[in-house]
Amino acid sequence: MTYKKNLGDYGENLVATYLEEKSYKILARNYRKPYGEVDIIARKDKLIAFVEVKTRSNNNFSNPREAVNFAKQQRIIKASQAFLIEKNLTDYIMRFDVCEVLVEEKELNYIENAF
């Protein structure tokens, strides 16, 4: 595995644990379609959170959340719609979150309703 993949997996594992501690149930990880991917899909009551995780070793150049631009958001939205239809979960409330993981700073910044 590459360093970048290992770093990403590390961040996603931290966020999945964080969500479980907040009483979310992880429904899927790395849900992929040809037109997009969602890192973590989690449910709590009647809410399904589609979470994009951005992990960086440090915050020297920019905030990780800045990498979730409009095009990336559109790909996540398309994949999330496919997931809801595929799993027959269309009566749930959707929310799009972004979580920044900064490894050196040991910081996790979870942003609800990021877009």
If one counts every other C-beta atom within 10 angstroms of the C-beta of residue 51, the result is 27
**Percent of the chain surpassing pLDDT 70:** 98
Q: 18-67, pLDDT tens digit by residue? A: 999 999 999 999 999 999 999 999 999 999 999 999 998 876 777 888 89
Q: 69-86, pLDDT tens digit by residue? A: 999 999 999 999 999 999
HSE-up (13 A, CA, CB side) for residue 35: 11
Q: Would the CA dihedral through 86, 92, 94, 98 be positive or negative?
A: negative
Q: How many domains does the chain have?
A: 1
Q: pLDDT confidence of 1, banded at 50, 70, 90? A: low
Q: Tell me, what's the pLDDT at 61? A: 73
Domain with residue 86: its CATH number is: 3.40.1350.10
Q: Which domain holds residue 30?
A: 3-111
- Global confidence as pTM: 0.92
